Amino acid sequence: MYVLALSDEVVPLVYSLNIRDHFPTVKLILGCGDLPYYYLEYAVTMLGVPCFYVHGNHDAPELTGNGEVVAEARGCTLLDDHVLRHQGIIFAGLGGSMHYNADSRYQYTERDMLLRVLWLTPHLLFNRLRYGRDLDVLLTHAPPAGIHQGSDLAHRGFRALRWLIEWARPRYLIHGHIHQNYRMGTKTYTHYKHTVIINAASHRVIWLDLH
Ligand SMILES: [Zn+2]
């Protein structure tokens, strides 16, 4: 299945009247955080496909044109702290970044993230028994520790996410958040044990090869 992963910036190619011509094969949108909700809603409406997303550290309530305040992307499914199956593919989401200031509700200490990971584990164990695997795609905002991470605290990866991919063996971890120097040859694909880790900052069409 082709998915369109979006993260961190509004891309004119996506926020375009010709979006369907640009992404004709996409069957699902994955939002990795730090995006305006209207942008995800636009992509969902125009492409006519579902969207699963997680929050980024910069996500905040948004004022719509009608004067309404929205705190989630309408018509999209928030995947944070959830596990779900879609067309036989198992997805889970853990958004947010490392805690570095008090400005956002989507910042977590390493301990916070570990608790969120532990909260998911019974669901993943159920999948292991029921489907023979824990998880296919883990959607996050921040990367795992030591992979694609930045040098400052805000962009450091989580050890808990690294432990999770070692334990649950997802085929993919798709993240955003790391977009500094993105166009200067930053590594965006890494194979680590059983998992391909993909930095989707900006936008990326990904073929989920799961069969
Ligand atoms: Zn971020």
Q: Assign 182 a pLDDT band (cuts: 50, 70, 90).
A: low
> Residue 187's pLDDT band (boundaries 50, 70, 90)?
confident
CA 70 to ligand 1 center in whole angstroms:
19
- Residue 108 sits in a domain of what CATH number? 3.60.21.10
Note the pLDDT of residue 50. Answer: 98
Can you tell me the distance from the alpha carbon of 164 to that of 146, in angstroms, rounded to the nearest whole number? 14
How large a percentage of the chain has pLDDT more than 90?
89
What is the tens place of the pLDDT at every residue in 87-117?
A: 999 999 999 999 999 887 899 999 999 999 9
- pLDDT class for 5, splitting at 50, 70, 90? very high
Residue 184 has pLDDT above 90, yes or no: no
| 181 CA to centre of ligand 1 in angstroms | 14
pLDDT digits (tens, 9 = 90+) for 189-206: 999 999 999 999 999 999
Are 81 and 59 contacting, i.e. CB atoms less than 8 angstroms apart?
A: no
State how many domains the chain has. 1
Distance in Å, CA 144 to ligand 1 centroid? 14
Phi-psi region at 158: left, alpha or beta (left = phi > 0; alpha = psi -120 to 50): beta
Structural domain range at position 131: 2-207
| Distance separating alpha carbons of residues 178 and 193, to the nearest angstrom | 21
Q: Which of 8, 47, 56, 9 is nearest to 25 (CA)?
A: 47
Given a contact cutoff of 8 angstroms between Cβ atoms, the answer to whether 141 and 177 are in contact is: yes
